[in-house]
A and B are shown apart, each in its own frame.
Chain A
């Protein structure tokens, strides 16, 4: 089955630790995205990548980092510099960045205490 997988579904970390969220897709999509969603809020773009070895900052990139070494994978690292990391993180992919629908993974709920 084609789709997007994110792991883990729930993640707990202590303040001051970096944590990496996994995102893998087997849809052969060029573009991938990371969004953050806070309770009762919409989606905010963290980073996106249009192609392998390239990525761009979104609206709230501070305190986050990404890599895109393989077409299938777009991991997100939440660093200790991120002031309020507790949130629901959604990964998505699309054929291209413009004009194509995005398909989403199941999300990772990160709690930092």
Chain B
């Protein structure tokens, strides 16, 4: 079965603090893809990153960084020096082949509030 777990429902940090959002996934496929999305208060989901299962290299994009560890089935997202504009709901997602045809699985999201 394919599954994505985001155990942190809500997180609050003070501006300029670093924060890590956890994502744990389950799949039996050897080839799969992982994603992070941001949903600001406006509602539209914004794509942030895609990683495939063969590339465990960490990625950094400005204040954002992602840590992919196959050994722990985790794909965590860190925001460095958080800002108020980072306040949003963040979703982790998995794309893996499934015989039912549904090939995209979202976690339940982590709501991040950055306090000025």
A residues near B (Cβ < 8 Å) are 33, 41-43, 45, 48, 56, 58-59, 88, 90, 92, 97-107, 109
Taking CB atoms, residues of chain A closer than 8 Å to B45 are 90, 92, 102, 104
Contacts A42-B91, A42-B107; A98 near B97 (Cβ below 8 A): yes
6 pairs from A and B in contact (CB 8 Å cutoff): A58-B102, A92-B45, A98-B96, A100-B50, A102-B47, A104-B44
Q: Which of A33, A101, A104 has the most CB of B within 10 A?
A: A101
Q: Secondary structure at chain A's binding surface: helix, strand, loop or mixed?
A: loop
| Contact of A102 (CB < 8 Å), options: B52, B104, B109 | B104
Taking CB atoms, residues of chain A closer than 8 Å to B101 are 56, 97
Taking CB atoms, residues of chain B closer than 8 Å to A106 are 42-44
B90 to chain A, nearest CB (A): 11
Contacts A42-B109, A43-B91, A107-B43; A98 near B35 (Cβ below 8 A): no
Taking CB atoms, residues of chain B closer than 8 Å to A98 are 95-97, 103
* B4: nearest chain-A partner, CB-CB: A42
Q: Which of B35, B42, B104 has the most CB of A within 10 A?
A: B104
Q: Is B67 an interface residue (CB 8 A)?
A: no
B residues near A (Cβ < 8 Å) are 33, 35, 37, 42-47, 50, 52, 91, 95-97, 101-104, 106-109
> Do residues A100 and B102 form an inter-chain contact, with CB atoms below 8 A?
no
Q: Which 10 A-B pairs have the closest CB atoms?
A: A42-B108, A104-B45, A107-B43, A98-B103, A106-B44, A43-B106, A99-B33, A101-B47, A97-B103, A101-B50
B23 to chain A, nearest CB (A): 13
> Do residues B44 and A107 form an inter-chain contact, with CB atoms below 8 A?
yes
Taking CB atoms, residues of chain B closer than 8 Å to A43 are 91, 106
B14 to chain A, nearest CB (A): 23
In the bound assembly, the distance between CA atoms of A41 and B108 in angstroms comes to 7
* A98: nearest chain-B partner, CB-CB: B103
